[in-house]
Amino acid sequence: MTTHTLAAALDLVSHELDDLVDGVAEGDQAAADRALDLLDGAERVFVHGAGRSGLALRMTAMRLMHLGLDVHVVGEVTTPAIESGDVLLTASGSGTTGSIVQAARTAVDVGAQVVAVSTTASSPLAELAEVTLVLPAATKTDRSGTASVQYAGSLFEQGVVLLGDALFHALWQRSGHSADDLWPRHANLE
């Protein structure tokens, strides 16, 4: 398929995302339920990812805050120390990103739990995680075109956004709150 036009490129991205969503939906539902339970029961949620994955997780952090969770983005100057009872939500395609693995190790050492989003269930990050949600996508160094023909992990990063919105939506439905209940938490200093 040629992707020299915007329409063709959108079609390619859409097909890859459809395949990714199908792969997640057919994946480990017990892990997905466990991730929802951990986030729902957390004292506080910390999110941590590098690069575009980190940007995608910041979107999830905002939605979880709208839901009323106490959420912090790792690396921000106002982020407190993680403690027992907290959850660290991470994203790393390879599961080997040094700063993310170290943060997960710190979280586990203090008694917090880790939810990892990755392309693999077998990595240093997955070993530390209470649950790993696997997105069937390419890592940023996979240029084979097998899992995705998009550049440098784009499908994984898009998947992180979709998964984050799906986690939020499932938690929102569990909460029983209306959109009007959440609206007062929406930013008003824009």
Q: What is the domain partition of the chain in residue ranges?
A: 33-173
Q: How many residues does the structure list for the chain?
A: 190
**C-alpha distances out from residue 99 to 34, 50, 137, 181, Å:** 24, 8, 21, 36
Which residue reads 């939506």 in tokens? 169
**Reported pTM:** 0.94
Indicate which residue of 83, 127, 130, 157 is catalytic. Answer: 157
Alpha-carbon gap, residue 64 to 51, rounded angstroms = 20
pLDDT in tens, 131-179: 999 999 887 787 887 889 898 899 999 999 999 999 999 999 999 999 9
- 33-173 fold: Rossmann fold (3.40.50)
**C-alpha distances out from residue 24 to 20, 30, 119, Å:** 6, 12, 11
Burial 54-67 (b: 16+ CB within 10 A, else e): bebbeebbbbbbbb
Beta strands in 8-86 (DSSP E): 45-49, 71-73
pLDDT in tens, 30-81: 999 999 999 999 999 999 999 999 999 999 999 999 999 999 999 999 999 9
Quick one: pLDDT band at residue 185, thresholds 50, 70, 90?
Answer: very high
| 3-class DSSP state of 110 | coil
* Residue 26 is among the residues annotated as catalytic for this protein: no
Give the alpha-carbon dihedral of 20, 55, 179, 113, to 10 degrees: 80
Secondary structure of the chain: what % helix, strand, coil (to 5)?
Answer: 50, 10, 40
| Region class of 73: left (phi > 0), else alpha (psi between -120 and 50), else beta | beta
